[in-house]
């Protein structure tokens, strides 16, 4: 408990409070009158309204499209399932710069839709919503599907034997068990879309602005700290309210679930209905997720006079890029992986400790901390980044120019994922199993190893995968943290896109493709570790 609290106090609460204080204090007095001033501005009201409704619409749409996917991944076995599971997670970690480019290629002028049906969706809200679904599909599939695959189907079967209809059995047995996971997933998606930044900027054009975009503008571009502080607090309040509701629903539904090994619950689809469902989900994944990714790959290979690997070769040379980088762009991959490993470690340690502490429900204080852990997702990267600047500036903590800030900032975003993924599973472990083991003479460690670990290991790996992936694609915080010239992949991509010329554009696409592959391979490896080592650790 002490470790996560200290971590959050130092690297999150303190910087954010400091930067907000800078904006709201004048001569040492809090100026709360500024709220009225800022919130009565019509442009700000417009931003608030748009932020809210697009987030609600995106969340609804994501759940609608992704829940069938979660079911299919949890309950069906089909060839290529692991690969597909890794692939659907890739979008989640791609930098928005890349996704924006891919979606423009699909929905914009001369894009696929335009050529086939003459439809253009760029600079409409539809492009934003679709991109949000693209990003967050994996959140739902992994959080809900992860638990769903471990629910014992026999419970539902028992209900059927007792005379419940198929739907009634699902509604009374499976749905209540899934509730917390669905709520957690919906909440995450809502948080993400509520605080959406890059997608809105690139696909929406200047006509659309979310709270997050506005906070960035007010802070980084205008240094209008009072306005930024007010907006930050508004976002805080909104996020806090969502989290409170969420905590309440979770508490109402907490029950010990009988978890089983996922390998036993999945089977080949049977009957026309199930095959149709599987086909439908695969088609969705193909159109919504694979197509935008495929466009990137195609553009990375599209060299003048045909197709080839010229852009990939260029990535390895520092000379060709002397104008953009001091090192060959390929080195960005190594940097990214290094940061990601460190960030994952930090996130797992902090998040794992927090989840363990939260499992032993120790009163209201701890529950409050649960919500607190989620706050970094709802606070803009620029606020945290600028907060770092004015707080971590004195020895021994002058970390402003240290490389460790990058993984720290990334871990801040990763921790909530770890907690969210671990918590439902940790809480669902039936304590009596542990007690039974203890009665039979197992030491606490042995009891934990034999009882908890097999049930938790999966969640742990999923959590690690998420933290790792978040770190790989994280762009917001890394941009604001000055560091020696060792760019991460997303930063390198955005730098290449920031230069004119065919080679730069092609290299940006190639690097995005590599980023995609690296993510997919990492996620696949995590999946493999799980299956290879099932049984003993």
Partner 1 sequence: MSTTKKIAVSAVAVALGATALAGCGSSDDSASGSGPTGSSGSKTVTLVSHDSFNASKDVLKEFTAETGYTVKVLKSGDAGAALNQEILTKGSPRGDVFFGVDNTLLSRALDNGLFTSYKAKGIDQVAADVQLDAGKHRVTPVDTGDICINYDKKYFADKKLAPPKTFDDLAKPAYKDLLVTENAATSSPGLGFLLGTVATYGEDGYQDYWKKLKDNGVKVVDGWEQAYNEEFSGSAGGKKAKADRPLVVSYASSPPVEVLYADPQPKTAPTGVATGTCFRQIEFAGLLDGAKNEAGGKALLDFLIGKKFQEDMPLNMFVSPVTKGAKVPDLFTKFGATVDKPTTVAPDEIAKNREQWVQSWSSLVVK
Residues of this chain, 218-237, that bind partner 1 according to CB under 8 A: 219-223
When the beta carbons of 159 and 353 are compared against partner 1, the nearer one is 353
Question: What binding mask, one character per residue, do residues 89-128 give for partner 1 by CB under 8 A, x or -?
Answer: --------x--xx--xx--xxx------------------
Ramachandran category for residue 499: left, alpha or beta (phi over 0 → left; psi -120 to 50 → alpha): beta
Nearest to 420 by CA among 381, 466, 452, 380: 466
Residue 287 near partner 1 by CB under 8 A:
no
Q: Which of 74, 185, 202, 415 binds partner 1 (CB under 8 A)?
A: 202
The phi, psi pair for 259, rounded to 5°, reads: -90, 140
Residue 80 to residues 76, 84, 219, 524, Cα–Cα distance (Å): 12, 6, 46, 11
What is the footprint of partner 1 within residues 298-357 (CB under 8 A)? 299, 302-304, 310, 322-326, 333-335, 337-338, 340-341, 344-345, 348-349, 352-353, 356-357
- Between 172 and 449, CB nearer to partner 1: 449
522 binds partner 1 (CB under 8 A): yes
- Where are the alpha helices (H) located in 195-327, listed in sequence order? 198-204, 211-216, 225-253, 262-265, 271-285, 291-301, 310-315
Closest CA to 194 of 70, 96, 47: 47
CB-side neighbour CA atoms (13 Å) of 442: 15
Q: How far is the CB of 412 from partner 1 (least distance, A)?
A: 17
Give least dist CB 79 to partner 1, A: 23
Nearest distance from C-beta of residue 254 to partner 1, angstroms: 20
Q: Which x/- pattern over 459-488 shows residues binding partner 1 (rule: CB under 8 A)?
A: -xx--xx--x----------xxxxxxxx--
**CA 447 vs CA 292, 322, 466: distances in Å:** 47, 58, 28
Q: Residues in contact with partner 1, total (CB under 8 A)? A: 98
Name which of 277 and 340 has its Cβ closer to partner 1.
340
Nearest to 99 by CA among 524, 525, 532, 508: 508
Closer Cβ to partner 1, 87 or 178, answer by number: 87
| 442-461 binders of partner 1 (CB under 8 A) | 444-445, 448-449, 453, 457, 460-461
Q: Does 498 bind partner 1 (CB under 8 A)?
A: yes
> Backbone dihedral region of 158: left (phi > 0), alpha (psi from -120 to 50 degrees) or beta?
alpha
Both tokens of 327, joined, read 């090192």
By beta-carbon proximity to partner 1, the closer residue of 7 and 386 is 386
Closest approach, Cβ 76 to partner 1, in A, equals: 26
Cα gap 137→70, rounded to integer Å: 9
Restricting to residues 5-34, which ones interact with partner 1 according to CB under 8 A?
A: 22
**In degrees, to the nearest 5, what angle opens at C-alpha 348 toward C-alphas 347 and 353?**
105
């Amino acid at each position: 408990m002490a470790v996560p609290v200290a971590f959050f106090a130092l690297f999150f609460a303190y910087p954010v409070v400091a930067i907000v204080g800078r904006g709201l204090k004048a001569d040492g007095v809090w100026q709360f009158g500024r709220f009225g001033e800022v919130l009565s501005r019509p442009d700000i009201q417009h931003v608030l309204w748009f932020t809210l409704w697009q987030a609600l619409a995106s969340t609804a749409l994501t759940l609608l499209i992704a829940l069938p996917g979660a079911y299919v991944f949890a309950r069906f076995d089909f060839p290529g399932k692991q690969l597909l599971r890794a692939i659907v997670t890739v979008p989640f970690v791609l930098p928005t710069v890349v996704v924006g480019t891919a979606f423009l290629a699909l929905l914009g002028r001369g894009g696929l839709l335009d050529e086939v049906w003459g439809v253009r969706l760029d600079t409409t809200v539809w492009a934003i919503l679709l991109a949000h679904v693209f990003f967050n599909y994996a959140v739902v599939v992994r959080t809900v599907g992860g638990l769903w695959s471990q629910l014992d189907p026999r419970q539902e079967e028992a209900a059927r034997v007792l005379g419940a209809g198929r739907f009634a059995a699902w509604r009374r047995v499976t749905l209540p068990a899934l509730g917390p996971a669905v709520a957690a997933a919906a909440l995450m998606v809502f948080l993400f879309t509520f605080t959406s930044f890059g997608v809105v900027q690139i696909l929406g054009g200047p006509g659309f602005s979310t709270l997050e975009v506005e906070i960035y503008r007010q802070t980084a571009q205008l240094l209008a700290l009072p306005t930024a502080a007010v907006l930050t607090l508004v976002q805080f309040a909104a996020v806090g309210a969502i989290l409170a509701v969420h905590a309440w629903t979770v508490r109402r539904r907490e029950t010990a679930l009988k978890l089983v090994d996922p390998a036993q619950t999945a089977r080949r689809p049977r009957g026309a209905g199930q095959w149709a469902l599987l086909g439908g989900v695969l088609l969705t994944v193909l159109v919504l997720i694979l197509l935008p990714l495929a466009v990137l790959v195609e553009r990375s290979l599209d060299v003048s006079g045909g197709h080839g690997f010229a852009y990939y070769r260029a990535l390895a040379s520092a000379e060709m890029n002397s104008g953009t980088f001091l090192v060959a762009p390929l080195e960005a991959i190594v940097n990214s992986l290094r940061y990601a490993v460190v960030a994952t470690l930090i996130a797992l340690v902090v998040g794992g400790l927090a989840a363990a502490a939260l499992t032993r429900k120790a009163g209201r204080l701890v529950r409050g901390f649960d919500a607190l852990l989620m706050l970094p997702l709802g606070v803009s990267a620029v606020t945290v980044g600028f907060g770092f600047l004015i707080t971590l500036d004195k020895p021994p903590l002058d970390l402003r120019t240290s490389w460790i800030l990058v993984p720290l900032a990334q871990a801040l975003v990763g921790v909530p994922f770890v907690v969210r993924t671990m918590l439902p599973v940790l809480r669902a472990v039936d304590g009596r199993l542990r007690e039974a083991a203890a009665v039979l003479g197992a030491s606490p460690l042995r009891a934990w190893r034999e009882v908890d670990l097999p049930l938790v290991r999966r969640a742990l790996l999923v959590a690690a995968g998420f933290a790792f992936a978040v770190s790989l694609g994280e762009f917001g915080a890394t941009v604001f943290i000055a560091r020696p010239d060792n760019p991460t992949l997303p930063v390198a991509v955005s730098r290449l896109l920031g230069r004119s010329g065919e080679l730069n554009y092609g290299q940006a696409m190639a690097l995005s493709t590599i980023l995609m592959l690296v993510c997919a391979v990492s996620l696949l490896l995590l999946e493999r570790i799980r299956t290879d080592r099932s049984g003993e650790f």
